Amino acid sequence: MAEKFDKQSSLDFVYDFYVKMKKNNINLAYEGEITHQITKAFTSLAENNMTLENDPSSVQKKVFHVMVECLQNISKHAEVRINETTTTDGRGIFLVSKDDEEYNITTGNLIKSDKVNGLRKMLENINNLDPEGLKQLYKQQMREGRLSPKGGAGLGFIDIARKTGEKLVYSFLEIDEENSFFVLTSTVSRKNNLISE
Amino acid sequence: MEVIKIAGTDDTPQVTLDAKTPFMEISGRSLPEDVVAFYDPILTWLDEYAEKPLPKTVFNFKLEYFNTASSKLLLDILLKLEDIHDDGKEVLVRWHFPDDDEDMEEAGEEYADIVEVPFEQVSYSID
């Protein structure tokens, strides 16, 4: 941000960025505030694309679920610099990539470093559970958990793990003593795993 | 009691609550921007209804999709229905799910495990 805007290198950057997106099969990339309108726009865009691609409805529903929970995680939990009077929706980076096998939904956002350990423990715990364990944890959290002031139910990560049937892939990058960057990738297989079909 | 009739949108469900008919329904999609603001009037209505419920209440859930924040509020609705049932009134929860949607079927089973209220799973096909 502090660097002076250089038009020529900006052009190079755009092409470089484009090539990298293509190489990584990324078909949606966004950085900014995650509002409810953004969530609706991205999910409906994804739904339209998946319908065009003839993805099975079970896959479409899972991708929809995961996208909503990931985007809401950012809007509710990402660290935002707020002044005394205004709060804003959280911001972060949101990527969707797709190949023949799977969809990958990736989010990245700033969190306070003192929250890293708690979050890491929660994610490790989820990854160590089998489907039955996840189901019990979900039920327990639904019964005992309380909605946060921003409307978070503490169920998003458990739901993502259950809906995808895959382990959550994540990392924490320490930026400085106070701030860290949290990246989470969720994978939805494009194979229809319904037994009936 | 006033009748609650909310038209569905692409992120909020259709809701019908009428104290004169034993038929109540919540259907469609639920991912409201502010879940508490959306569900609060519904829960308040049920509190009031619970004071003088009909001899039999049938509550239909016919949701296509709900987010995790909504799932907590749906449980709150079910817990209120459980209270009415505990007071000796007849209550039936009918959980409708598309016949190809295992996740929605399982969500119904889980709610049925948590709340102690007569619970019926109803599958339907969409073509």
* Contact in structure between B116 and B80 (CB atoms under 8 Å): no
Q: For the segment A139-173, what is each residue's pLDDT rounded down to a tens digit? A: 999 988 877 776 676 899 999 999 999 999 999 99
Q: What is the pLDDT of residues A111-139, one digit of tens each?
A: 999 999 999 999 999 999 999 999 999 99
Q: A35, A37, A65, A186: which to substitute to probe chain B, counting the most B Cβ within 10 Å? A: A65
A89 touches chain B (CB under 8 A): no
Q: Where are the domains of chain A?
A: 7-189
Residue B40 predicted with pLDDT over 80: yes
ipTM: 0.90
Rounded to whole angstroms, the maximal C-alpha distance in chain A is 59
Q: Is residue B115's pLDDT more than 50?
A: yes
- Is A72 at the interface with chain B, CB within 8 A? yes
As a whole number of angstroms, the distance between CA A129 and CA A91 comes to 30
A192, A185 in Cβ contact below 8 A?
no
Beta-carbon contacts of A50 under 8 Å, excluding residues fewer than 6 positions away, are A59, A60, A63
Q: Is the pLDDT of residue B116 over 90?
A: yes
Q: CB-based contact (8 Å) between B51 and chain A?
A: no
Q: What distance in Å separates residue A156's CA from the closest CA in chain B? A: 6
Interface contact A144, partner B, CB < 8 A:
no
pLDDT class of B94 with cuts at 50, 70, 90: very high
- DSSP characters over A54-103: T--HHHHHHHHHHHHHHHHHHHHHS-----SS-----EEEEEEEE-SSEE
Amino acid identity of B14?
Answer: Q
* pLDDT confidence band for A196 (50 / 70 / 90): very low
Interface of A with B in 3-32 (CB under 8 A): none
Closest CB from B33, B65, B71 relative to A153:
B71
| A147 close to B (CB below 8 A) | yes
Average pLDDT of chain A, as a whole number: 88
- CA dist A110 and A142 (Å) reads 27
At the fourth CATH level, which superfamily is domain A7-189? Histidine kinase-like ATPase, C-terminal domain (3.30.565.10)
Give the start-to-end residue ranges of the domains of chain B: 17-124
Is B61 strand, coil or helix?
strand
Amino acid identity of A197? E
CA angle, corner A56, sides to A54 and A62, nearest 5? 120
Nearest to B115 by CA among A154, A145, A139: A139
A-B Cβ pairs (cutoff 8 Å, strict)? 63
Interchain contact, B69 vs A61, CB within 8 Å:
no
